[in-house]
Amino acid sequence: MVGAYDDRDGKIWMDGELVDWRDAKVHLLTHALHYASSVFEGERCYNGKIFKGEAHTQRLIASAGMLDFEIPWTADEIEAAKYAMLKANGWTDAYVRAIAWRGAGPDMGVSAARNPVRLAIAGWEWGNYYGDAKMKGAKLDISKWKRPSPETIPSHAKAAGLYMICTMSKHAAEAKGCSDAMMFDYRGYVAEATGANIFFVKNGEVHTPLPDCFLNGLTRQTVIGMLKEKGVTVHERHIMPEELEGFEQCWLTGTAAEVTPVGQIGDYSFEVGALTRDIAESYERLVRS
């Protein structure tokens, strides 16, 4: 599928029905457009099955609750809608995007309790998020923006507004010839990339930031479980910036990123080592099993 995302052939599930792709529109005065009152999920379908689809749906519902709104469809209805969208487009391997938001209604200000909550599910065929980085390792910039304190935002919601600094960080990274950017948190600890969690390897053991102010990704949780099953020690902890110099390997995890090796972060270099390759290959087998 090629072309702008608003000008394609296909079907999108929207508010209970499948509509033509180009007709999946919202009004200018949609509350989410002005005040970021929306939550979403990114999921991948492999061989006709959405990986951890039910968990994604539950997180979508939970994220909406954190933003003080309720999605007017059940988890089972949302699951059925995802597969209806895939079937309508003839896809067995695709990226799935579910999004819920406060729409246009009688309120148009910060408060929007009376506005209807809407839900849409789209998808598209999508390859590697970081292109050929899966072979040679992605190159990351270090962002000037920091993940904020959970006292300032609902940091464990997958909410659209939380990605503003991620977009700016990724644009700055791309301008430097990088694939992405690594972010610190408000305390100065290593946090994550703009849309993926991060892992490091040292002396055969894995270290990954404690997700106490950013999203604990479903792929992250899956990979930690896989590592433990392989007998690899995993440390979930706060990681200081100066520790980057001592790590030997690094990778990113996320639904879009899957497991992507990292070759460089700023001035720090990492090898695409045996453990990185093994976990990437094991994850690929798991999602297609």
Query: Catalytic positions, please?
Result: 158
CA distance 7 to 187: 43
Contact 2, 122 (CB under 8 A): no
Of 262, 280, 279, residue with least CA distance to 271 = 262
Q: Cα torsion for 187, 60, 112, 30, to the nearest 10°?
A: 100
Please name the residues in contact with 104: beta carbons below 8 A apart, sequence gap of 6 or more.
Answer: 26, 27, 29, 30, 31, 115
Query: Which two tokens mark 234?
Result: 């995993």
DSSP single-letter state for residue 179? S
Asked if residue 101 lies in contact with residue 36, where contact means CB atoms within 8 angstroms, the answer is: no
Could you give the CA distance from residue 11 to residue 24 in angstroms, rounded to a whole number? 9
Rounded distance, CA 47 to CA 284, Å? Answer: 12
